[in-house]
Amino acid sequence: MRAVVQRVCDAEVAVSGRVVGRCGRGLLVLVCAMQGDDEATAARLAAKIAKLRIFRDAGDRMNLSVRDIGGAALVVSQFTLAADLRGNRPGFSTAAAPETGKRLYEHFAAALAAEGVPVETGIFGADMKVGLTNDGPVTIWIDTATS
């Protein structure tokens, strides 16, 4: 799986002008299931993100996780993270099939919640508008195939 994790002051996702998910201080996680991913992959990624120490401690060091600060996560599916950019028009053939992608997206969100992180989500496959205030800015890219 691939994820872009952003440390945020706040974030929200809307579909057809209606907010369907939001969080305050915490993480915006854009996530994509790739071909060959499974539930175990989604659970490993969720555990890694729950423990990711990217929040500042009292010494102003990035040393705290989203759980440590009592933060939350907004999880949004984004198949475009699978983009193949060999040419000028991206291809997405390495993304998981939609039904698999949806299942793994939902499993990832549930696994992150099981790690003790309050989670809200977007709507898989919908045309979503995502707004956020990136804190830092801090943005981390994770690919389970390489990490």
Q: How far apart are CA 121 and CA 22, in angstroms?
A: 8
Amino acid at the residue 19: V
Say if strands 26-32 and 62-64 run parallel, antiparallel, or are unpaired.
Answer: unpaired
Residue of 6, 41, 79, 121 with catalytic role: 79
How far from chain centre, in Å, is Cα 67?
15
In the annotation, is 80 catalytic? yes
- What pLDDT is stored for residue 121 in this prediction? 98
Residue of 35, 80, 92, 133 with catalytic role: 80
Q: In CATH terms, is domain 2-143 a member of 3.30.390.50? A: no
Residue of 6, 41, 55, 78 with catalytic role: 78
Amino acid at the residue 49: I
Q: Residue ranges of the domains in the chain?
A: 2-143
Burial code of 81-98, b = ≥16 C-beta within 10 A, e = fewer?
bbeeeeeeeeeeebbbee
pLDDT in tens, the chain (147 residues): 999 999 999 999 999 999 999 999 999 999 999 999 999 999 999 999 999 999 999 999 999 999 999 999 999 999 999 999 988 999 999 999 999 999 999 999 999 999 999 999 999 999 999 999 999 999 999 999 998
pTM assigned to the model: 0.96
Give which of 67, 82, 73 is closest to 13, Cα–Cα.
73
